Amino acid sequence: MTTAEKTVEAFKNKNMTITAAESCTGGLIAKMITDVPGASAVFELGVCSYSNRIKTNVLGVPKEIIDEYTELSEECAREMAIGAMRLSGADVAVSTTGVAGPAGGTDKDPVGTVYIALAADGNVVSEKRNFNEDGCCDRDTIRQKCADYVLNMAMEYALRCP
């Protein structure tokens, strides 16, 4: 059973819904969920917010967050998740923003760095992860590792819910 299948099953069993706001994963999380038969019972919305304009105009990320922290930040990821939840009304929202490469990395955020957030029940948790710590992953691998990680994070959240 794939991570996406396990995630969909966990959300079905808990009668919960999920939404995704994705930048660096480019809709991969939404694709993985919707590849699972019956995902329509749990998946509400996917927003591929690759540009800052969409992050701001669609998801409602305050321009000040992007100006102060950049689109590559936990603050931005948190606001993306909150915006996706507001748009969809889902029980859980996940978001990703980062540097999938092969270019674009910095000393602070090298290629493979992704900021992830999960919003649920009035709370938001976020974290910074590097899915290319060994420096040998290509763009597709970084995106796949990130999507798997986020789906697992969402699944574990759902399983903990009463």
Q: Does the structure show a pLDDT above 90 at 14?
A: yes
DSSP annotation string for the chain: --HHHHHHHHHHHTT--EEEEESTTTTHHHHHHHTSTTGGGTEEEEEE--SHHHHHHTT---HHHHHHH-SSSHHHHHHHHHHHHHHH--SEEEEEEE--SSS---SSS-TTEEEEEEEETTEEEEEEEETTTTS---HHHHHHHHHHHHHHHHHHHHHH--
> Half-sphere exposure of residue 11, counting CA atoms within 13 Å on the CB side?
29
What pLDDT score was predicted for residue 92? 98
Q: What is the pLDDT of residue 104?
A: 87
* pLDDT tens, residue by residue, 35-88: 999 999 999 999 999 999 999 999 999 999 999 999 999 999 999 999 999 999
The pLDDT of residue 133 is 85
Percent of the chain scored above 90 by pLDDT?
91
pTM to 2 decimal places: 0.96
Give pLDDT, residue 3.
96
Task: Decide: 127 and 115 in contact? Cβ < 8 Å.
Answer: yes
Mean of pLDDT over the chain: 96
Inform me whether the pLDDT recorded for 136 exceeds 90: no
Please report, as a single letter, which amino acid is at residue 26: G
Domain 3-160 matching CATH 3.90.950.20: the answer reads yes
What are the residue boundaries of the structural domains of the chain, listed by start?
Answer: 3-160
Backbone angles phi, psi at 8, to 5 degrees: -60, -45
Structure tokens at 125: 């948790």
pLDDT of residue 162: 87
- With a CB cutoff of 8 Å and minimum separation 6, the contacts of 35 are 4
Calculate helix-pair angle for 139-160, 3-13, nearest 10 degrees.
20
Does residue 137 register a pLDDT over 90? no
- Banded pLDDT at 135 (limits 50, 70, 90): confident
